Each structure stands twice: as C-alpha cells, then as structure tokens.
Structure 1
Amino acid sequence: MATNIQDRKRINGPTRSVEPISTAEPVEPFASGRLDGRALDQVRPIFMKTGSLDSQASAQAAPSGSAYYEQGKIRISCAVYGPRQGRKSNAKMGIFSCDFKYTPFSCSWRKSHIKSSDEKEISLILEQAVAPAIRLELYPKACVDAFITVIESDGKAATIAAAINCISAALVDAGIELYDSVAATSMALNGTQWISDCTQIEEDSTSCSLLVARMPSADEVAYILQHGKTKIEQTEEGFQACVNACTKVYAVMCRYLQGSM
C-alpha cells in the first residue's frame, strides 16, 4: 500500500518565481561629474596599517609581515610568509608567489567559496607586478608567499591596483629586501577622457580600463594591463595619467611606512 512520504530535508521552492520590481532609477555616473564629487584625476582616500594580522595568529602561524589597506570602499588584507624553505632545493634565486581570493560577500560577481579561474589569473598578475621589486637573488632556495584577501571590492581594476599596494606594504613589514615599493593605480576611459580610480558603477559605464604598477624611485614600470581598445595617443595619455597617480599613491605609502618604522 503506497503512502505519502514527505521529504523534510528539502525545502521545496515555489513552482514559479517572479522578478522583484525595482523602483530605483538607473544612475548615470558622469552625467553631472562623479558621484562622490572627486575630480577626474583624483584617487579615493587611502588608509593603511601594517602588522594588522600578527596579533591574531599563534606564534607558529604568525605571518612574517601583514598589511590592511583601504581605498574608498575597497578593503584588502595581505599576509606575507617568508623567506622560508622553497620547493626547489637547487634554485639560485628565490621564488615569489601570490594567492588572491575574494570573500564570497565582497562583490557582485563572486558567488562561491571555491577558487575561480579569475582569481588564479589575478594571482598571476600580482606575481608579475610585484616580483620585479623583490631582490630574489638574496634568497636562494627560498620562497616568499603573499596571501591576499579582498574583504570588499569596488571596481575590478581598482581592486587589483589596491592589492598590489597592499602587498608592497606587507613586504616592507616582513623585512623583505626590495629595490623599491610598487605603487599601482587604474584608469578607465569614458568617451575621450580618462577617469582615475573608478568605482564599480563608473567602471561598468566605461569602454576601456588601464592599470599601471610602477616603482617611482627607480623610475621603472613593473606591469601594465589594459582591457579594451584605444588609439595609440589615448593609451599614451592614459599611461601618463597613471604614472602621475602612482607618484601620489607612492607618496602616501612612504609617508605611512616611514612613520610606522
């Protein structure tokens, strides 16, 4: 005799779903200037602190150096371990590696705790941008590992640039030998005008983004990343705008690091 058995472990959803009605009007980011009142070449306010993770871990698991970085709504933490024994016992130069991760609640495009291909790609970008500044020849057979966690994101290119700045601060806190600290900024192209340090809403309405990581004291460019098509003249203009912004960010970083020593 058949009986109705109710599955109490599963919550059955409705047979049909209705999209909620949004009463919010679409926002035009550059209709009457920027939404937050900044100038087109102005970077969001920066706050940083080194050694923020040292006291939260046990003596054995404590990182060699750490940093917390805010830029507007962007919030990032970084822990650096090393130099410690590397995976290659005969390496003549040290190895620098990055592990980049979004928290599941940090942004609209991140929906799972499982590491995505996007995070792996950004990890590689960070390695290539920061590694030229580290004196890896002083650490043979050793490795330096940086673990970056994005607590909140507001603009994809701006978040990558902020992560580079956060890693630089954490490396200084760890006492890693550097040629120079790396400062990074991003620009986005709106029509014919470059906009500095765009938020996510601003970035969604632009046609191209440009990121530059630079070592200002050494006057060397560590990394350039561009998404979208531009003319050569536009790229040169955006690059120069990034260089100028990097100098300002670098001055803020140096002012804090010198005061924290």
Structure 2
Amino acid sequence: MATNIMDRRRINGPARSVEPLYGPGAAGADPFAGGRADGRGLDQVRAIYMKTGPLSGGQHEPSESAASGSAYYEQGRVRVSCAVYGPRQGRRSNARMGVFDCEFRYAPFACSWKRRSHVRGADEKEISLMLEHAVAPAIRLEAYPKACIDAFVTVIESDGKAATIAAAINCISAALADAGIEMYDSVAACSMGLRGAQWVADCCQAEEDAAPCSMLIAHMPSADEVTYILQHGKATPEQTDQAVQTCTNMCTRVYAVICRCLQASLE
C-alpha cells in the first residue's frame, strides 16, 4: 500500500508567475550611457548648499547642550549635518596638544538600498577614523593643550559612499569655522570615479558602482597640502597622477564655495 509522502522542505511557488522587468536600474546597465543622468559634465560637481549654525545656540537662546558650532551641507542628494563641541576638558590632563575626535553615523533612512541600524557599524567606525585623519592636520591642536574637540556627523541622505565622505569633510570644516576653532586652513574634499580612460567628478551611487576605481582627496588649497587620499580599485600610475591633479583642482572650486558661504554667514 503506497503512502502519500509530502516533501515539506519544498516551498511551493506562486500559481501565476510574471517575467521580470529589465529597465535602466537593472544590473549591468551603464549609468553613463547617453551622458550623465543629471546632465552634468564629467568635471562638474553637483550644486552645493551650505548653512552654518543650525544646531548652535545663538545669543538669544543660550544653552549648555548647544553645539559650539554646526553646519548643514547639501550636495545634490547628499545631505550631511555636523555639530562641533569644544574645546572642552580632555581625557588626558597632561597632554601638550589637543585631541580631535569624530563620530560618523548614517541615519536609519539615509541609504535608499539599505536601512541602517541605530548601532554604529564597522564601516561607520572606519569612516570616523578617515575623517579624523583628513581634518586634524588643519586644526591648530597645539593651541588647545589638555583639550578635546568633538565632531558629530550625521548623514541624512547618501548618494555615493565616496561622495558622502567628501561631503562630511566639507561639513566638518564649516562647523569648525563656525565654532571659532583656530585652523591653518579649511579642508575641502572631492571624489572622482574612473570611466574608461576618463575621470568623472562627484559620482552618484550608480556611477560609483559602475566605476572600476574611485578616488577621494582632502586638500587644503591655501597651504597646497593634501591631508588625506583614498583610492579604491585599480588604476595605472598615469591615471592615478591624473586623478590627483584633477581632484585637487576640484577641491579648490569646492573650497571657494565653502569660503563664500562662511563669509555670507558673517553678514
């Protein structure tokens, strides 16, 4: 006598199935086909909007919890805010130089392709160290012995990892200036992606995913000093040299925009 044995390990598919739709967002699609989606040239960055002091306590609203300086930075669909606290008492009472600490976080809704956890991940801790190394050389830490300067960066919306890190560096520089921290120069950052034999400035997420190599540079234009450089992917020495030259020129343009915004905030 045969018994009816059901395989419960199988998952029955739906009774009706449809074919997948393949559109511009499908895997393997070239985001540069027909030019850039937003109509920019290969050497153009997205429009920048910056405002200082949104989280700082004004003269009419003093508060102990208010930040010493703050800034909001927007570049296309990348939106970043930063609050700076300090200089305040550091953890080492005998330190001859001040300490700059940075905490980088994504908002849970910052990435459209992934919901972030409220607990800091390993990538956020790694980016925090990147920001510290990129911005610390511009601060006169010897002028703040035994003190600590803390920067808290929150990414409200992200559109490209390298572009988001560059925006965070620009936002921190503006917040430090708003806090009145003594600096040698402001740090401006820009990212680029490789497309064939050409470098593309300020790539969005789709363009970064399609690029075999990306580069991020933080630069102090007045001092003509590169404070941080990060390359992801493979490129020839000639391509790398071209990227450094092009990216530093783009940083100079971004630096001019930051300076104009800071001057406008004083008026």
* CA-CA distance at 1:54 after TM superposition: 2.1
Query: Hey, what does 1:42 align to over in structure 2?
Result: 44
Aligned equivalent of 2:53, options 51, 60, 65: 51
| CA positional deviation for 1:17 | 8.1
**Counterpart check, 1:182 vs 2:187:** yes
Where in structure 1 are there 5+ consecutive unaligned residues? 1-14
Residues 1:64 and 2:62 aligned together: no
AA of the residue aligned to 1:161: A
Are the counterparts in 1 of residues 51 and 73 from structure 2 also a CA contact under 8 Å? yes
After superposition, the C-alpha distances for 1:108-157 in whole angstroms (9 at most, x for unaligned) are 24532111000000000000000000000000000000000000000000
Do the aligned residues in 2 keep the contact of 1:101 with 1:149 (CA within 8 Å)?
Answer: yes
Report the Cα distance in structure 2 between the residues aligned to 1:64 and 1:22, rounded to whole angstroms. 53
Structure number with greater Rg is 2
Counterparts of 2:100 and 2:178, CA distance in 1: 16
Q: 1:16 to 1:161 in 2, by over 3 A?
A: farther
CA contact (8 A) 1:102 1:110 kept: no
- Cα distance between partner residues in 2 of 1:151 and 1:17: 39
**Which whole-Å CA distance do the structure 2 matches of 1:84 and 1:128 have between them?**
20
Contact 2:106 2:116 (C-alpha < 8 Å) held by counterparts: no
Deviates more, 1:55-64 or 1:27-36: 55-64
Q: Deviations over 1:200-221 (max 9, x none)?
A: 0111111011000000011111
For 2:164, the equivalent position in structure 1 comes to 159
Please report the TM-score for the alignment, with normalisation by the length of structure 2: 0.88
Question: Whole-Å Cα distance in 1 between the matches of residues 148 and 141 of structure 2?
Answer: 9
Matches within 5 A, 1:27-176: 27=25, 28-55=30-57, 59-107=63-111, 108-176=113-181
Matched to 2:89, the amino acid is Q
Aligned length: 247
Residue identity opposite 1:69 in structure 2:
Y
Distance in 2, Cα, partners of 1:72 & 1:17: 42
* Aligned-pair identity (%): 66
1:6 aligned partner: none
- Write the deviation string for residues 132-189 of structure 1: whole angstroms up to 9, x where unpaired: 0000000000000000000000000000000000000000000000000000000001
What's the RMSD between the two structures over aligned residues? 1.9
Tell me the distance in 2 between the aligned counterparts of 1:260 and 1:66. Answer: 12
Q: Secondary structure at the match of 1:212?
A: strand
2:205 to 200, 205, 212: 200
- Structure 2 residues not aligned, in runs of 5+: 1-10
Q: 1:130 to 1:23 in 2, by over 3 A?
A: same
Matched with 2:7 is none
1:219 to 224, 227, 231: 224
One-letter identity of the residue aligned with 1:63? A
1:2-41 correspondence to structure 2 within 5 Å = 23=21, 25-27=23-25, 28-41=30-43
3-state SS, counterpart of residue 39 of structure 2: coil
- Between 108-117 and 250-259, the greater mean CA deviation after superposition: 108-117
- Please state whether the residue corresponding to 1:54 is helix, strand or coil: coil
**Contact 2:57/2:67 (CA < 8 Å) preserved in 1?**
no
